[in-house]
Amino acid sequence: MNRLCLILFGPPGSGKGTQAKILRQSFGLAHISTGDMLRERITTRDELGRQLARIMQAGALVSDEMVNRLVEERIDQPDAKAGFILDGYPRTVSQAELLTGLLKGRNIPALVVHLKVDYNVIVNRLSGRRQCPTCNTLYNLSASSPSSGSAVCSLDGSTLVIREDDRPGVVLERLKAYERQTEPVLEFFASVGMPCWDVDGASGAPQAIASGIEDAIRQFRGKSGAVGGEK
């Protein structure tokens, strides 16, 4: 029985993490965020963690070898047996080539969802974003949620912090790195015949955007035979 691999593609701040959380609940898929995996490693403060911290604070990309290894281990975990959502991976053609091989070897069909958002919108989004250091919940100071103007997390009361990779100077470097290394990945996906669904990531509320993605997933599953227990 085939699993489903949903690849959420788009620049930093395009809403991949938000959409992944909604779609995870809808289809029972594991949410695999390479960014979260890397940040968790940084908190260990070992030698590798310190190296990762320096790379991410500078807005650079972590080596393909390291990210590939983390992803390969993660997709074989028990919670990903029904399928998974890749959030922030692949970011380079080299990573995309490896992923294609991993999916083919495991007979896992994949659908790419490309969230398209203007860069000016992204800079505004990320400059107002804060994160809970305890539960990793994200907030935006310009949003209308009850905690948007608060300095504490509504779930556990922890003081919200600015992620190092959300600082304006770092955001610009991340967008440059995206243009240079990640946009060619879409061309690679097209060359190998991987289906891609373009979505306006700034066209409405997150739930409304997710509804359109959910329709695309249902159509794709019907054609490919992929599964992933819809809830």
Q: Is 104 a catalytic residue?
A: no
CA 181 – CA 186 distance, rounded (Å): 11
Q: Which of 16, 24, 41, 130 is catalytic?
A: 16
Q: Which of 91, 125, 130, 221 is catalytic?
A: 91
Q: Which of 3, 39, 174, 221 is catalytic?
A: 174
Q: Is 129 a catalytic residue?
A: yes
Local structure of residue 93 (DSSP, 8 states) = H
Q: Which of 24, 74, 163, 221 is catalytic?
A: 163
Q: Which of 41, 129, 130, 221 is catalytic?
A: 129
Q: Is 180 a catalytic residue?
A: no
Output the CA–CA distances (angstroms, integers) from residue 173 to 16, 33, 55, in the order listed: 19, 20, 12
Q: Is 91 a catalytic residue?
A: yes
CA 51 – CA 43 distance, rounded (Å): 12
Q: Are strands 30-33 and 110-116 parallel, antiparallel or unpaired?
A: unpaired
Q: For the stretch 43-60, what's the b/e string if a residue is b when 16 or more beta carbons lie within 10 angstroms of its beta carbon?
A: eeeeeeeeebbebbeebe
Which residues on adjacent β-strands are paired with residue 197? 113
Q: Is 16 a catalytic residue?
A: yes
Query: Which residues are part of the catalytic machinery?
Result: 16, 91, 129, 163, 174
